[in-house]
Structure formats: C-alpha cells, structure tokens
Amino acid sequence: MTEPLPVTAVLPVMAAHPAHLGGFAPLSDQAPHAGRRRAAGIATLLGSGLSNQVGAAVGSLAFDTIGSVGVVVVRQFVAAAVLVPLARPRVREYRWAQWWPVLLLAVVFGTMNLSLYASIDRIGLGLAVTLEFLGPLGVALFASRSKGAVICALAAGGGVLAITHPEGTTDYLGVGLGMLAGLCWASYILLNRTVGRRIPGAGGTATASAVSAIAFVPVGIVIFSTHPPTLAALGLAMVAGIMSSALPYVADVTALRRVPAQLFGILMSVNPIYAAVVGALLLGEALEVIEWSGIGLIVLANAAALILAAPRRRDVGGVS
C-alpha cells in the first residue's frame, strides 16, 4: 500500500486490545449476522486497498509540478484534517511518557511518507509499495519465531532479488528508499503499540499526524515557493490524500469491526498486487514476468508470516 493508514499500522495493537475497536461486540456474539458482516467487511477492505493505490497513482501525477515532497506535504495535512476531528485527542492531558512515543511516531510518519513517495517517483508504484511491505513482513516474521518464518524470510528475499534484479541500470536509490519506507513502517507498528497502550483509542496516532503536518509547514513553504503549485497539482494531491488517507481510514475502521484482525492483515497483503495493476493501467508502468513473480513471493510470504504469527501476537504486542 502507499502511505500506511494508522488503522493498518496499529493492527497488532487492535488485535490485542479489543477496546480499540470502538466497543463493538465480538463477531462470535453476533452469530446470526456474522456471515454477512464478514463478507461486507472483506468487500470494504478490498475497496479500501484499491482506493489507497489509485490515490497514490493520482498523487504521482502531480510530481512534475510540485515534486514528491510537495505531494507528501499536502497529504500530511489531509491526514491530520481527517484524524484529529475523528479522534479528538486530549493533548493537554498528555504526560511526557505519552508525548515521547507520539513525537517519535510523528518523525517516523513523515520519514515513511517522504521515502515511499520518493521511491514511487524513481521505481514506480508497484515495486515501491512491494518493498515497503517488507516492514510489516519483518515484524510478523519476528513474531512467529518458527522454522516456517525462515522459509518466509527466504521467499521474501528471493522476491526482493526478483523485483530489483540487480544490474548496472538498477535504480539502487529508489530501491533503498522503498526499503527505508518499509523500515519506517515496521517502526510505525512498534511505536503504535506503545502509543496504543498509553493513549486511549486513536488519539495518539491523530496527535502524531498533526505534529507531522505542523513540522511540514516550513517544508511546504520552501517547496511551493520554488515550485509554484497549480490548481491542478494541488487538486491531484488532495484527491490522493482523500483516497489514500480519508476513505481508507474510515473503511478500515469499519472492516475491523466485521472481520478478525488476522484476516484483516492477510487481506492487506493484496495491496502490492493492487499497486502493480494500478501502476500498469493508470501510469503505464509495465512490469516484467520476473518482477510479478517477486511481488507474488513477497505477498505470499507476508500472508504466511501473519498466519504463523497469530498464536504469539499477544506476547509480541507486550500484552500480558
């Protein structure tokens, strides 16, 4: 996926803390409607992933005018504008023990978005998003700590080699930026676990998005003064923010009320495939067979790692 939504990033926290799902009863307590609810949740989640990747593709159309950094600036503000009113964080009540993980989360949030969009600009949507998925895959592999995790890691490594196929013309900077985005996503997951334990609901994540948006104000001033934005470019960036931040956030919250957290995580693995297809159809990013094979390996490794990690998820999340 492109810029991971807070709901996605805090999935392990939500899985360990049912209260974060908004107080809805577990699926097992709603047996008569469980089947329909799950089907609706799956459809919502798949639609969320598609919206996310189409939004990223739309945002990339503004790169020529305001650059990838300019698009990220607009997206940061859109994310904050969506999350803060929904979560309504009580920042005046925060203690330092709550503020420091929030501030770190804000730094990771900004770095993740910058590195991902810069990677998309250099190597394309499909490959950048796939490399980014190495982050949550690494967290899931660490959570499983089994022999199967070694196989998943080897499969993922083979996938990376397949999609990058190192040679003289390889854009190593673009590949490195995609991997940096994955490292940031892994950090995002782990930090959100801490934030989720110390701040109720999504208040901490919303605060981090607001801090990140404020930090991008001087960046935006520099970018937009040197690269004057057109209304079209701003519109594309805002559409990207809505499709990749606002809509997926609401959709993912809805889906988490209807499907088990583990299934949610496995279905999220479809995002690299979405990204590759959207990149090909909307941006003309043709991929070779070996690159498609690499994407498939990483997607399968991610799904398998989530299945392996499921029995140990509570331990890894730090919940006793």
Per-residue H/E/C for the chain: CCCCCHHHHCHHHHHHCHHHHCCCCCHHHHHHHHHHHHHHHHHHHHHHHHHHHHHHHHHHCCHHHHHHHHHHHHHHHHHHHHHHHHHCCCHHHCCHHHHHHHHHHHHHHHHHHHHHHHHHHHHCHHHHHHHHCHHHHHHHHHHHCCHHHHHHHHHHHHHHHHHHCCCCCCCHHHHHHHHHHHHHHHHHHHHHHHHHHHCCCCHHHHHHHHHHHHHCHHHHHHHHHHCCCCHHHHHHHHHHHHHHHHHHHHHHHHHHCCCCHHHHHHHHCCHHHHHHHHHHHHHCCCCCHHHHHHHHHHHHHHHHHHHHHHHHHHHHCCCC
Do 108 and 184 meet the contact criterion of CB atoms below 8 Å apart? yes
pLDDT of 173 reads 92
**Whether the predicted pLDDT of 269 surpasses 90:** no
For 203-235, the pLDDT digits (tens) are: 888 898 899 999 999 999 999 988 889 999 999
**Whether the predicted pLDDT of 132 surpasses 80:** yes
**Whether the predicted pLDDT of 20 surpasses 60:** no
Do 6 and 195 meet the contact criterion of CB atoms below 8 Å apart? no
pLDDT confidence band for 33 (50 / 70 / 90): low
pLDDT of 179 reads 92
pLDDT of 36 reads 78
Tokens of 230: 């057109």
**Whether the predicted pLDDT of 318 surpasses 60:** no
Greater confidence (311 vs 157) lies with: 157
**Whether the predicted pLDDT of 156 surpasses 70:** yes
Average pLDDT over residues 298-303: 84
pLDDT averaged over every residue in the chain: 80
pLDDT of 119 reads 93
pLDDT of 309 reads 66
Using a 10 angstrom Cβ sphere, with 0-12 exposed, 13-18 middle and 19 or more buried, the burial of residue 57 is buried
**Whether the predicted pLDDT of 4 surpasses 60:** no
